[in-house]
């Protein structure tokens, strides 16, 4: 292979990687999660997850522990109230999208 062909092949391989491989969340989902977060979670966990008031910093929540997130949020944990009766499953899922993407949107 000549140099140009190698570069072209590498470029095509890079293009073949779907963007969603890095970030499986839809922007609408992250946005709706951020709205729910601002309404219900920000008072304790801090606006946009910064400066939490006596609650853990959700930017440090392990990204590979979705099940734990869903369970803690729906059922509550110690002094954190349960949200399962107030929020629908897809709203909690959207919150996860927001937290797991680090509140970028
Ligand atoms: C009344 C204050 C308060 C509100 C409002 C609140 N939290 Fe919490 N949250 C806490 C406290 C306190 C903890 C620490 C619980 C512990 O580990 O003892 C916590 C812990 C957590 C954890 C970590 C649970 C774990 O498994 O370690 C997550 C995730 C979380 N909150 C998400 C949320 C989300 C999402 C919302 C909004 C729907 C929310 N919280 C609203 C106070 C709050």
What are the tokens at 50? 């910064």
Residue 29, pLDDT score: 95
8 compared with 68, residue with greater pLDDT: 68
Tokens of 52: 């939490």
pLDDT in tens, 70-92: 999 999 999 999 999 999 999 99
Q: Which residue's alpha carbon is nearest to atom 12 within ligand 1?
A: 55
CA 23 to centroid of ligand 1, rounded, Å:
24
Distance of CA 16 to the CA centre of its chain: 25
- Closest alpha carbon to 69 in 87, 47, 50: 87
CB within 6 Å of ligand 1 — which residues?
A: 40-41, 43-45, 54-56, 58, 61, 68-69, 72-73, 77-81, 83, 95
pLDDT of residue 84: 97
Q: For residue 32, how far is its CA from the centre of ligand 1 (angstroms)?
A: 18
Asked whether residue 99 carries a pLDDT value surpassing 80, the answer given is yes
pLDDT digits (tens, 9 = 90+) for 30-42: 999 999 999 999 9
Rounded-to-integer distance, Cα 92 and Cα 43, Å: 17
Q: What does pLDDT average to over the chain? A: 88
């Amino acid at each position: 292979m000549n140099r140009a062909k190698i570069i072209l092949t590498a470029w095509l391989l890079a293009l073949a990687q779907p963007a969603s491989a890095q970030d499986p969340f839809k922007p609408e989902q992250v946005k709706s999660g951020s709205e729910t977060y601002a309404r219900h979670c920000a008072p304790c966990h801090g606006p946009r997850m910064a400066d939490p008031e006596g609650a853990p910093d959700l930017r440090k929540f392990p990204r590979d522990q979705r099940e734990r997130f869903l369970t803690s949020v729906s059922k509550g944990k110690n002094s954190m109230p349960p949200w399962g009766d107030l929020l629908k499953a897809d709203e909690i899922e959207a919150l996860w999208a927001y937290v797991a993407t680090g509140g970028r949107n």
